[in-house]
Amino acid sequence: MFSITLKLLIIAFINFQLCTCSSDTDKVEVEEMVFSVPLFKPQNVPQIKEKKLKKLLEPLGKLYKTPSDVGTPISSSEASESVEKMIFELNRLIQAKYSYIFKQYHKLKTVHQAEKCDSTTNVYTITLQKTDCKAEQIIKGSPSTNCSNVEDSHPISCTILSKVTSENETIIGAFCHVNMQKKLAKKKSICELFRYPGEEKFKTFVPKEVSSLFADAIVYIPQGQRPQPNEKYYKNYRGRQGIVGRGMLPHLGPVQMHVVTIFRKNGEQTEVLSLLNSNASIEIPKVFVTDAINRPFGDEIDRILKKAFDTTDLSSAEKEEKLQKLYNATYSTLVDHRETPYDTDDAYVITEVVAVFDENKKHIGSIDEFPSDGDLQIGWKVADKSALRLMRFVLPSEGIFHKLFSELQLLF
């Protein structure tokens, strides 16, 4: 049962209460979640598709840094044996929320895929089989050996993240939904689907097709730490991500991430601002931004720029004027995307490309060397073909033929 209140502004703010009711008690648990949902795409705002941006950035540092460690397959016999030991706990989790709907005890039907991600972490995708036994009786101690399979037109499927010790294996993350077996088609590596790029390392895998907040999750055990009840923020309207809290993001709610594409003309050459402490020959900086208007290149790069201008003979007013010229020359392009690998249930990324071309060294182009800020080191590198192609896409178009030429270059 849920109620929804809509307030229509430029962005729709949706305020709703989701009530979960138990048949065993008269208590009603009420959880209030507030999140903002764009009603429509902004008009007259430059946009670029995420897929296209990823392709442009492929030689220049990935748009999102994600772990790509694959797992080691677990044999079907070993996987079935391991999951069988966790079935009782899985039934208990189903009964905790949906005892009034799923009254029957469920056995293991199929292990679709099973992998060992590290020495203490296993992951599984499975489908359950409904039986003629009452789950309540089995949970209270009755044996399940005499339970017979019954027809089930809406089978429950689950993704499971487990912790392995020398003594046992326990469920630490799970997501269960009906009619989900087709979403669990065999992948190259399911460990990749369970990995998260932050300190948590893992998240619960939730298939995109059933991740909506309005989709019934029979079991949902995400990773991470939930925010304090008194914290006010906008939930992630994009759906369940398998991890709660901030994750690797700087704060709860929407988080601005900017792809910083800055170019200058230096003699006959075009140069691009790149990370210097990178394995790639050129890597475009990506930064989380706290003040998109006054510091569009992020706090760290803003500090670097101010330190760099401090080394010049310019007066305070002249330094401020150069910074203002730089910010005024910045051109923003919104990235059209849904969820990102960094998202959690409570924090989500909004990506923009911010671009500048200082053709006559009027501001940032007048700086030849930059100081570092912590681990961040930036500097100029000669723009290669990939960087020049990116430049043509993220700076204002010079006409339809210019745009068409850039599009054709992506094909080759």
Q: Where are the beta strands (DSSP E) in 9-103?
A: 12-21, 28-37, 47-49, 72-73
Give the model's pLDDT for residue 88: 96
- Is residue 153 over pLDDT 70? yes
* Stated pTM of the model: 0.85
User: Residue 346 in contact with residue 244, Cβ under 8 Å?
Assistant: yes
163 and 190 housed in the same domain: yes
Instruction: Examine the domain organization and report whether 85 and 224 are in the same domain.
Output: yes
Least confident of 5-9, 175-179, 338-342: 5-9
The string of pLDDT tens digits covering residues 282-324 is: 999 999 999 998 899 999 999 999 999 988 888 989 988 999 9
Q: Are 61 and 80 in a shared domain?
A: no
Please check whether residue 345 lies inside any domain of the structure. yes
- pLDDT band of residue 181 (cuts 50, 70, 90) is confident
267 and 396 housed in the same domain: yes
Q: Which amino acid is at 281?
A: S
What residues are paired with 240 via a beta bridge?
none
Same domain for 11 and 91, yes or no, is no
**In a domain? residue 111:** yes
pLDDT band at 386 (very low <50, low <70, confident <90, very high): very high
* 209 in the same domain as 91: yes
What pLDDT shows up at residue 41? 60
Q: Note the pLDDT of residue 402.
A: 45
3 band by pLDDT with thresholds 50, 70 and 90:
very low
At 219-237, the pLDDT tens digits run 999 999 999 888 888 899 9
Helix or strand run (H / E) with residue 382? strand 378-382
| Residues 291, 363 share a domain | yes
Give one DSSP letter per residue of 392-405, joined into a string. HHHSPP--HHHHHH
For β-strands 286-289 and 223-224, DSSP reports them as unpaired
Please give the share of the chain, as a percent, with pLDDT higher than 70: 85
Q: Decide if 242 is inside a domain.
A: no
Binned at pLDDT 50, 70 and 90, residue 40 comes out as: low
Q: Strands of 75-230 (E only): list them.
A: 104-118, 121-134, 156-164, 169-178, 219-221, 223-224
* Residue 11 pLDDT > 50: no
Assess whether pLDDT exceeds 90 at residue 155.
yes
Strand runs labelled E in 179-224: 219-221, 223-224
On whether both 161 and 213 belong to a single domain, the answer is yes
Q: Is residue 342 part of a domain?
A: yes
Segments forming the whole domain that contains residue 290: 47-67+248-409
Band the pLDDT of 108: cuts 50, 70, 90.
Answer: very high
Task: Say which CATH number the domain at 174 has.
Answer: 3.10.450.10
Residues 6+ apart with CB under 8 A from 166: none
Indicate if 31 and 138 belong to the same structural domain: no
Mean pLDDT of the chain: 87
In this structure, are 88 and 150 located in the same domain? yes
Q: Is residue 241 part of a domain?
A: no
Closest listed residue to residue 281, CA positions, set 353, 149, 382: 382
Give pLDDT, residue 183: 83
Strand ranges inside 276-359, DSSP E: 286-289, 331-336, 347-358
Q: What is the mean pLDDT of residues 358-370?
A: 94
- CATH number, domain of 380, equals 3.90.79
Q: Is 143 found in the same domain as 59?
A: no
Number of domains the chain is built from: 3
Does any domain span residue 186?
A: yes
In a domain? residue 238: no
- Alpha-carbon distance of 182 to 154, in angstroms, equals 12
On whether both 139 and 162 belong to a single domain, the answer is yes
What pLDDT shows up at residue 26? Answer: 40
